[in-house]
Amino acid sequence: MVEVMNRKGFTLIEIIVLIVMAGIIIPAIVVPFTTGIRQSRKPEMVAAAMYLAHQEMEALMQFNYCQPSLNIGTYNSTINGNTVQWTISYVTSAAGFPTSTTGDVGYKEIAVTVTDPQGSTYKVSSVVTRF
């Protein structure tokens, strides 16, 4: 007569198979999760950079065409780790604008570019007129 033993627990082979399977499955789950967490801050950075660009544009748009604050040139500053650059230049040719190679035709373009700490850039442009 065969006596049946009431077995409880796992064998060594079963434990080894479980460890190997966990070693394969866990990294496949954890890597995309950690990548997603690292990039979850990106929308916040985009919003902050665009806010800075629009804020700088609003500050520049309050000046009249001939005021020294709108002198032709490129200017830089750093705000909260973001590099803000604004360029003021004469509009020399574009659809709907007079063209000239001599400079001032009554239109200045203001271009504000913000570069976030990760190197992404965001640009806002506007035109100021003398008329």
* Mean pLDDT calculated for residue range 52-73: 87
Per-residue pLDDT tens over the stretch 81-107: 889 999 998 876 655 565 555 667 788
Specify the higher pLDDT residue, 127 or 98: 127
Phi and psi at 44, nearest 5°, equal -65, -40
Fold held by 43-129: Pantoate--beta-alanine Ligase; Chain: A,domain 2 (3.30.1300)
SS3 37: helix
Nearest-angstrom CA–CA distance, 110 and 123: 10
Q: In this predicted model, which residue has the larger pLDDT, 25 or 9?
A: 25
CB atoms within 10 A of CB 26: 10
Token pair for residue 54?
A: 């629009």
